[in-house]
Structure 1
């Protein structure tokens, strides 16, 4: 994969270089051709050759003698040149602005020499004609210079073809070397990124580290963030999968026990010699086990609906102090709790909260029942209302540290819950109810000192 990317990138670089070379070549040929067919364009309008060819318009023949107009004289001054008009024999018949030491006669060889080369005064000469006269236009120290060279067109074309091929090959080789080095630098992290994505596809969420990240540093940073997120989600998924398996196992176990009792006592009821009093006892056992199974399934359904946010909340504005006080009074009036020391305290008389009264009552009762059934009868339980929430505190046995982190998990039973009846979903349901209202729960406990639960609503 790495070399495939490198070859593709190198091919792209070479293609671009090749295209640029030929585009530049065609542009150069086009510009030269355009200048060739349009000699009056802005690039060549002020050259000496062009000025000399067009200067004849400022000249005329009067009485057989050449005459230069005033406009021609002004044009010569502006161009920075001077003019000599020659007859057929090379004699100067008239001049304009010519230097005093300018020759009065030119032989053919002298004309050829000064046209090809500058004279000793670094003057460049241009030659024009009007009828039977010729004229020399000289410019001292001009900006342009004449270069004379002779070449064979066939040899020149052959040489230029070879040169073009050589330059193209050299440019492509240079581009290939640079492109190869650059593509290796670029494709190495790209290949690494592709391999990394493949690892993520295979559910390998290990965070990777690369020393030279270059321009791909944000990409590697984002991939690391994705790996960390996916790894956390995978751990959560595994945790939930383990919990689900435990739930199924616990539900199956909890259902098998009462089902076995129901089946056994139902078989006893079919016996003919069973006394009526025994039949009533058997029927009572079957009823209790049936009620337990119904409560277990109801609790399981409730906690699943709360976790999946499918449970509608009938929120009401409620004065928190009176709500909790009534709940404690109902407990004290219940014969099951008459032997327990349950007290109520409040320093927030006017605190109003909006919540589902039925669900909140169940959540608070679960915490109080938990404090009652897991402690001795002489344990003191205090239910308090503050401006920030509700506190349920006892001075009982306490909870072991290894149990605190898992106490809100479904079906979890701590080390001090032997022979305790229940569905194992009470505290998990309470936590789900509080969180469904946007609140949170904090639990602190010390062995031998007691447990404190704080319900903080949003």
Structure 2
């Protein structure tokens, strides 16, 4: 059993409600601030761990520089271990350690347990004197002897004291630090700050990149939806609900478009068969000389109306196919002049005795001009314009097909000297034609706001001067003429003919404009480029 429309609607509402609930939950203050606090805490933990590793690395490096080979303590230890007492009681230091002390600008002395100097090398005179135990304790703890940074090494026979040039080392809380290392501290602090800032910037850029990567397919999907194309996006994170909503909207549009296409196709198919039967019977009665004159005239009227219905069905099919990009524009280089003359000859033969006079006026520059057009569609557009002129001027008029080329544009169309339209209705027609043309244009140029249709300024000037007819007779809506969306019924008032003309012009990369003739009447002008255009892009998106 197939689900009803109401059941399908209820099923579709469930995921929509879930998405709305998730969106409200994600936007709530506790959830939002809690999520951001967790992310901030994670970043802080990463920075702390990184800073810890940087500190350990810097400490190891400085320790190696200060207390490794060549450091004060290593020199003191080496001298303390190498210094030996000879048989005669004198002390001797091997040449290698002596050279090392000279290289490091180090002096040394050996103090007995009573504080007397037993041995010295390079020691200044100011430090060569007996020491009390309290004095030994002071410089051993403070690390300075007469302002010389000093180091001690305990031996079995006494205490070895080594000293280095003044201002070469500084005593820290735990040990000595070279003055050079202390000078490096601001640089290390700056290094840690720069690395932390780089990590924060990296986190920021990754976050922005993720958002940008999520927004890009969303914008592309919305652009495709604006063109009437089905889309499907897969977004993650906080934009997942937005992606699901876009997919749901696309599915709804696709179902509606498919239903409308099936409806148009079904109606067209169902109308053709009875229409063909009706036209066959009308043609037979109109050609039967045995039938009365009144019956034959009625049959001819039925035949003409049936032909009009047939054309309307054909227009409906073409408009539907162009709207849904189901009919590709088979554009080929073609000369416009032969096409216009052929159409004019057909209609001249249709009305040999009036009341319509059909003319073809091709300008010098358009006589040999070629354009990329679908001749079948352009032929239909021009015939629809002629039919529109014939239908709205029953008493007869002169219908002129024209073509001219200038500035890389080909202008062709139909003009009549009939009763024409007032400026309000012409403004409506131009507004809707402009909307159809704009929907088919590639969106390479930034939007600059609504573009007024051709002759809009003339329409506003006439309205300001009170020259437009107002009241129910002037507007099919029974209101004063306006360009508000609720009153845009201009193309619809004229059936599918003018609407189809606008769609065909847009499918050729151009547009159609409507105006009054210099001596009255109605003029429809199709402007298309005299250059190649993209036949693969969507022809029209309504």
Structure 1 length as normaliser, TM-score? 0.55
**How many residues are paired up?**
345
Q: 1:365 aligns with which of 383, 390, 401?
A: 383
| Distance (Å, rounded) in 2 between the aligned partners of 1:84 and 1:53 | 13
Give the aligned partner of residue 100 of structure 2. Answer: 75
1:290-335 CA distance string (max 9 Å, x none): 6665454344334323433434666665443233224323433334
Give runs of aligned pairs for residues 78-227 of structure 1, distance below 5 A. Answer: 78-86=103-111, 90-100=115-125, 102=127, 105-116=130-141, 121-123=146-148, 126-128=151-153, 132=157, 134-139=159-164, 141=166, 143-144=168-169
| Long gaps (5+) in structure 1 | 150-185, 191-196, 202-222, 266-274
Structure 2 length as normaliser, TM-score? 0.48
Give the aligned partner of residue 450 of structure 1. Answer: 521
> Partner of 2:66: helix, strand, or coil?
coil
> Partner of 1:425: helix, strand, or coil?
helix
1:55 aligns to 2:79 (yes or no): yes
| Distance (Å, rounded) in 2 between the aligned partners of 1:428 and 1:331 | 22
| Backbone CA RMSD of aligned residues | 5.5
> Partner of 1:455: helix, strand, or coil?
strand
1:424 aligns to 2:495 (yes or no): yes
Give runs of aligned pairs for residues 226-237 of structure 1, distance below 5 A. Answer: none
1:396 aligns to 2:387 (yes or no): no
| Distance (Å, rounded) in 2 between the aligned partners of 1:283 and 1:381 | 27
Q: 1:321 aligns with which of 337, 348, 366?
A: 337
Give the aligned partner of residue 181 of structure 2. Answer: none
| Distance (Å, rounded) in 2 between the aligned partners of 1:315 and 1:125 | 97
> Partner of 1:386: helix, strand, or coil?
strand
CA contact (8 A) 2:397 2:418 kept: yes
CA gap 1:364/1:77 in 2 versus in 1, 3 angstroms: closer
1:317-371 CA distance string (max 9 Å, x none): 5443233224323433334653434333333332234545454334323322332
Give the aligned partner of residue 386 of structure 1. Answer: 404
| Distance (Å, rounded) in 1 between the aligned partners of 2:326 and 2:412 | 26
CA gap 1:130/1:336 in 2 versus in 1, 3 angstroms: same
> Partner of 2:359: helix, strand, or coil?
strand
CA gap 1:139/1:377 in 2 versus in 1, 3 angstroms: closer
1:64 aligns to 2:88 (yes or no): yes
| Distance (Å, rounded) in 2 between the aligned partners of 1:30 and 1:335 | 100
Q: 1:305 aligns with which of 310, 315, 321?
A: 321
Deviation larger for 73-82 or 117-126: 117-126
CA contact (8 A) 1:125 1:139 kept: yes
CA gap 1:279/1:299 in 2 versus in 1, 3 angstroms: same
| Distance (Å, rounded) in 1 between the aligned partners of 2:121 and 2:391 | 131
